[in-house]
Amino acid sequence: MQTSYELLLQPEVAGAAFARDVIEAVLRDRGAVTRGDGALVWKLKAGEVTVLPLRESGAITGLELKLPFSDRHELVSELLASAVDVARTNALRVVDPQLGRTVSEVDGGAITDEYLRISRYAGAYFGLGDALPVALPQASDDETVSPVMKAVLAVLVFGVAMAAACRYFSPA
């Protein structure tokens, strides 16, 4: 289960070498700090984003920008703008794996929509506390019918239907 929304920083040309140390230094200049486990935490005005190396076939091919689910989307917009700025100045591209393409600032609406959709799904079906609250109406305890009661009612309805059918179709 996906617990965060990811954007990727990768070289403009697929398969090109990725200068991880250089890009991590750029992110540190922009407010990122190293966490105890070696990951970077990029501190933006609207919140924090975890930055991890993207490994493919054992090689580091980019950086994952992991955006935690929330009921606020200001961090999505700020991260996109900051990531695109870093990409432009360092011959990189920003990729949204959820959308399956390279993105820029003009894709902010599509990214926000996808972020909110996945966040709602995570909150509704996986109970992630940081995800959006469930928008589905919840039945109160008084309105719910237990599965045992449903089974008893189904058997009762079936019996009444069979008795009526027997009486209707039996010879006089």
Q: Flag whether 169 is in a domain.
A: no
Q: What are 59-117's pLDDT values in tens digits?
A: 999 999 999 887 778 999 999 999 999 999 999 999 999 999 999 999 999 999 999 88
Other beta carbons less than 10 A from residue 123's beta carbon: 20
Please count the structural domains in the chain: 1
Q: Are 132 and 121 in contact (CB under 8 A)?
A: no
Q: Which CATH number do you get for residue 120? A: 3.30.1400.10
**Is the entire prediction scored with pTM above 0.85?**
no
Assigned domain for 164 exists:
no
172 in any annotated domain: no
**For 7-32, what is each residue's pLDDT tens digit?**
999 999 988 999 999 999 999 999 99
Residue 46 falls within a domain, yes or no?
yes
Note whether residue 75 is domain-resident.
yes
Domain, as residue range, for 103: 4-126
